[in-house]
């Protein structure tokens, strides 16, 4: 059977234009209707094409690529429910602001809305989550149509990775035959740019997006309101941690304001000189009495809602204090309605300009903050003292994520799963000067696709090793993600915290209701993960809580994917977390007088 020249040229033009814009990673799930797209990607030397059997894993791997590079990977799927399996990754990409491009093959228009096999309604199947949706016309060799196609590709790229980054969906109908075939005549001679693109390898159109900037007057007014006051900086999760985190710390150093930095803010770890980065605030801010003693005069908020429930309660409790949110993203960053001022401007640029313009103590006539008497400094010192005395055994399961982080060398990256792992990092990972990057999925805070996302990040993070800290339920949820271990550039050390079920629910009041709690919430599974490791030929190591740090360091040295399995008791873990929290609260209350 011969192929379709129109399908061939159409698919090549689309992939070529995306590659000119910057596309380098293409993730393919096998299928028939997507043949023209797959063959076009395979023939393009600029593209790294990876294959996985599970569309959901493909979507989350691409999400990891977007997180690590701030550039979208493209996922190619066939038609039907294959497309629907990308929904969770599209939601997370949208909520978190991660670039991602979906190229879904579809049946031709004449087969839709009837009983044609594998034909479903794919038009806007992801609802309002994509930043843009493009329903392409059926392939043709018409020059004007091909030029329009290239323009759409340029717009799709810009919509995905420009200001307000997120997922973009391009739906591409193909009629049979699907196999590649060259045109019988050279269509380039008549439509040179439309078919072959610009001769200098540039995109058909460059889309330049500028982010909003605050005026000098606005910044001076803000400084006038903040400088005389005792402020606090709250840095929440962000997908711009690499550029925003250092600017947050520079602003903290310039102002002397204490910094409450979420693990995913990019601001918790970095040079400590002149910055009071408060440790384990999640532990002591869960106590109402402590929250009442730590009253700010001004709050500067950056990033999304913080992971810490205690910090969120503190923000709510002091809603009468002026709170400034600096953000220019597509999602509103004030779900609690506590902001007095919402500045729509590039946060990294704004903080940098505020730091540069901040008045010296001589100019302002104010006294420099005295860290030794600051209540936040006293709370920080008391908390660090408690955590230093409590070893891994006394902290139990809660110490595992922090131990794994200590085993990560400078330049390394850690992916932290939602549920308990990210909360344990927030509570027990003490701020330091370590040069590490932390990643997590806090857009929708789901536990689906975490393994695949981590492999996607590992494939792009080349300045050091990559680790994943994950619970057993999230691990089981994405076992298919282990297939990514076959990729030669994705070595990943997986620290698997196994308490045999959903132990996080033990933090909720429903835990008092037995036997329903165990049956319907904890749901013990009794699965031995060593068999999953064996099935995928992955190195496997059973360790105790005390042996996590050494095992992580050893696995990094081996430079191959390894599962480090830590068996724990969920109920005991909650008891030890509560005991540590109570001791911290008592010490902080004593320090605050």
C-alpha closest to that of 138 among 168, 175, 170, 167: 175
Max alpha carbon distance in the chain (Å)? Answer: 86
Report whether 561 contacts 490 (CB < 8 A): yes
Report whether 432 contacts 269 (CB < 8 A): yes
Report whether 153 contacts 18 (CB < 8 A): yes
> At what angle are helices 241-255 and 347-357 packed, to 10 degrees?
20
192 and 220 both lie in a single domain: no
C-alpha closest to that of 347 among 100, 163, 162: 163
**Separation between Cα atoms, residue 295 and residue 318, nearest integer Å:** 7
127 and 88 both lie in a single domain: yes
272 and 350 both lie in a single domain: yes
Helices (H), 99-237: 143-161, 192-196, 216-226
516: tokens are 């329903």
* Confidence (pLDDT) at 191: 64
577 and 456 both lie in a single domain: yes
352 and 470 both lie in a single domain: no
* Confidence (pLDDT) at 363: 47
pLDDT per residue of the chain (593 residues) written in tens, 0 to 9: 467 999 999 999 999 999 999 999 999 999 999 999 999 999 999 999 999 999 999 999 999 999 999 999 999 999 999 999 999 999 999 999 999 999 999 999 998 888 888 899 999 999 999 999 999 999 999 888 999 999 999 999 999 998 899 999 999 999 999 999 988 766 665 666 777 888 888 999 988 888 999 999 999 999 999 999 999 999 999 999 999 999 999 999 999 999 999 999 999 998 777 899 999 999 999 999 999 999 999 999 999 999 999 999 999 999 999 999 999 988 999 999 999 999 999 999 999 999 999 998 654 445 555 544 689 999 999 999 999 998 777 899 999 999 999 999 999 999 999 989 999 999 999 998 888 999 999 999 999 999 999 999 999 999 999 999 999 999 999 999 999 999 999 999 999 999 998 877 877 788 888 888 888 888 889 999 999 999 999 999 999 999 999 999 999 999 999 999 999 999 899 999 999 999 999 999 999 98
Burial classification of residue 513, based on how many CB atoms lie within 10 Å of its CB (0-12 exposed, 13-18 middle, 19 or more buried): exposed
The contacts of residue 250 (CB under 8 Å, 6+ apart) are 351, 352, 355
405 and 331 both lie in a single domain: no
220 and 158 both lie in a single domain: no
Burial classification of residue 548, based on how many CB atoms lie within 10 Å of its CB (0-12 exposed, 13-18 middle, 19 or more buried): buried
**Separation between Cα atoms, residue 309 and residue 305, nearest integer Å:** 10
Report whether 474 contacts 418 (CB < 8 A): yes
CA dihedral 38, 42, 45, 50 (to 10 degrees): 80
C-alpha closest to that of 239 among 515, 439, 482, 514: 439
C-alpha closest to that of 91 among 158, 169, 171: 169
Residue 539 included in any domain: yes
Burial classification of residue 244, based on how many CB atoms lie within 10 Å of its CB (0-12 exposed, 13-18 middle, 19 or more buried): buried
Residue 183 included in any domain: yes
* Confidence (pLDDT) at 494: 98
Helix (H, G, I), strand (E, B) or coil at 563: strand
Residue 548 included in any domain: yes
Helix (H, G, I), strand (E, B) or coil at 469: strand
DSSP 54: -
C-alpha closest to that of 44 among 22, 19, 27, 21: 19
Q: Which residue has the tokens 């999640």?
A: 282
**Separation between Cα atoms, residue 460 and residue 474, nearest integer Å:** 22
**Separation between Cα atoms, residue 522 and residue 503, nearest integer Å:** 6
Residue 204 included in any domain: no
Any idea what the CATH number is for the domain that residue 410 is in? 3.40.50.970
15 and 163 both lie in a single domain: yes
**Separation between Cα atoms, residue 332 and residue 337, nearest integer Å:** 10
Q: Which helix (H) or strand (E) holds 244?
A: helix 241-255
Residue 158 lies in domain: 5-196
566 and 465 both lie in a single domain: yes
Number of independent structural domains in the chain: 3
Residue 380 included in any domain: no
Residue 279 included in any domain: yes
Any idea what the CATH number is for the domain that residue 229 is in? 3.40.50.1220
Handedness of CA 61, 65, 67, 73 (dihedral sign): negative
The contacts of residue 67 (CB under 8 Å, 6+ apart) are 96, 98, 239, 439, 453, 456, 457
Residue 383 included in any domain: no
* Confidence (pLDDT) at 364: 47
DSSP 384: H
**Separation between Cα atoms, residue 48 and residue 25, nearest integer Å:** 5
* Confidence (pLDDT) at 143: 87
479 and 570 both lie in a single domain: yes
356 and 394 both lie in a single domain: no
66: tokens are 């977007």
124: tokens are 């806007």
Residue 382 included in any domain: no
* Confidence (pLDDT) at 162: 81
- Which pTM does this prediction carry? 0.95
417 and 332 both lie in a single domain: no
Radius of gyration of the chain from its Cα atoms, rounded to whole angstroms: 26
**Separation between Cα atoms, residue 461 and residue 131, nearest integer Å:** 26
**Separation between Cα atoms, residue 437 and residue 456, nearest integer Å:** 15
CA dihedral 278, 279, 281, 287 (to 10 degrees): -120
Strand-pair partners of 101: 74, 168
């Amino acid at each position: 059977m011969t192929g379709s020249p129109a399908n061939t040229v159409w698919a090549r033009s689309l992939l070529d234009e995306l590659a000119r814009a910057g596309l380098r990673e293409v993730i393919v799930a096998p299928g028939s209707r997507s043949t023209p797209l797959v063959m076009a990607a395979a023939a393009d030397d600029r593209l790294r094409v990876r294959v996985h059997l599970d569309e959901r894993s493909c979507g989350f791997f691409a999400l990891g690529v977007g997180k690590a590079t701030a550039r979208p990977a493209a996922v190619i799927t066939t038609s039907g429910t294959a497309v629907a399996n990308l929904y969770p990754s599209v939601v997370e990409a949208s909520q978190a602001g991660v670039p991602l491009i979906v190229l879904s093959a579809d049946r031709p228009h004449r087969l839709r809305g009837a009983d044609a096999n594998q034909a479903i309604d794919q038009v806007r199947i992801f609802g309002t989550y994509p930043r843009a949706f493009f329903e392409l016309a059926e392939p043709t060799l018409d020059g004007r149509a091909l030029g329009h196609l290239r323009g759409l590709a340029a717009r799709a790229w810009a919509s995905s990775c420009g200001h307000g980054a997120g997922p973009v969906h391009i739906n591409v109908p193909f009629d049979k035959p699907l196999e590649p075939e060259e045109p019988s005549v050279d269509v380039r001679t008549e439509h040179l740019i439309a078919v072959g693109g610009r001769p200098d390898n540039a995109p058909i159109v460059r889309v330049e997006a500028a982010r909003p900037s605050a005026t000098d007057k606005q910044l001076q007014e803000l400084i006038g309101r903040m400088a005389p006051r005792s402020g606090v900086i709250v840095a929440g999760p962000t997908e711009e941690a690499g550029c925003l985190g250092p600017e947050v710390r520079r602003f903290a150093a310039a102002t002397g304001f204490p910094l409450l930095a979420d693990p995913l803010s990019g601001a918790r770890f970095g040079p400590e000189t002149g910055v009071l980065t408060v440790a384990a605030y999640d532990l002591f801010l869960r106590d109402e009495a402590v929250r009442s003693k730590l009253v700010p005069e001004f709050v500067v908020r950056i990033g999304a809602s913080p992971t810490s429930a205690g910090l969120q309660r503190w923000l709510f409790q002091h809603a009468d204090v002026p709170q400034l949110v600096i953000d220019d993203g597509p999602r509103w960053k004030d779900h609690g309605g506590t902001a007095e001022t919402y500045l729509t401007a590039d946060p990294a640029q704004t903080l940098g300009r505020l730091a540069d313009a901040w008045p010296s103590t001589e100019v302002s006539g104010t006294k420099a903050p005295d860290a030794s008497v600051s209540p936040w400094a006293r709370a920080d010192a008391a908390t660090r003292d408690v955590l230093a005395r409590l070893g891994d055994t006394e902290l139990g399961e809660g110490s595992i994520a922090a131990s794994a982080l200590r085993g990560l060398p400078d330049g390394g990256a850690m992916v932290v799963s939602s549920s308990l792992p990210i909360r344990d990092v927030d509570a027990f990972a003490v701020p330091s000067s370590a040069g590490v990057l932390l990643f997590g999925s806090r857009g929708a805070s789901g536990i689906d696709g975490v393994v695949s996302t981590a492999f996607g990040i590992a494939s792009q993070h080349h300045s050091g090793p990559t680790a994943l800290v994950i619970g057993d339920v999230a691990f089981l949820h994405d076992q298919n993600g282990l297939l990514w271990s076959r990729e030669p550039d994705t070595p990943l050390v997986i620290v698997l915290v196994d308490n045999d079920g959903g132990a996080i629910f033990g933090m909720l009041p429903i835990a008092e209701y037995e036997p329903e709690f165990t049956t319907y919430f904890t749901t013990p599974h009794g699965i031995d993960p060593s068999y999953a490791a064996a099935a995928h030929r992955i190195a496997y190591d059973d360790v105790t809580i005390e042996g996590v740090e050494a095992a992580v360091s050893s696995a990094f040295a081996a430079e191959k994917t390894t599962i480090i399995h830590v068996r724990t008791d969920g109920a005991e873990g909650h008891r030890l977390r509560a005991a540590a929290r109570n001791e911290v609260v008592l010490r902080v209350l004593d320090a605050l007088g």
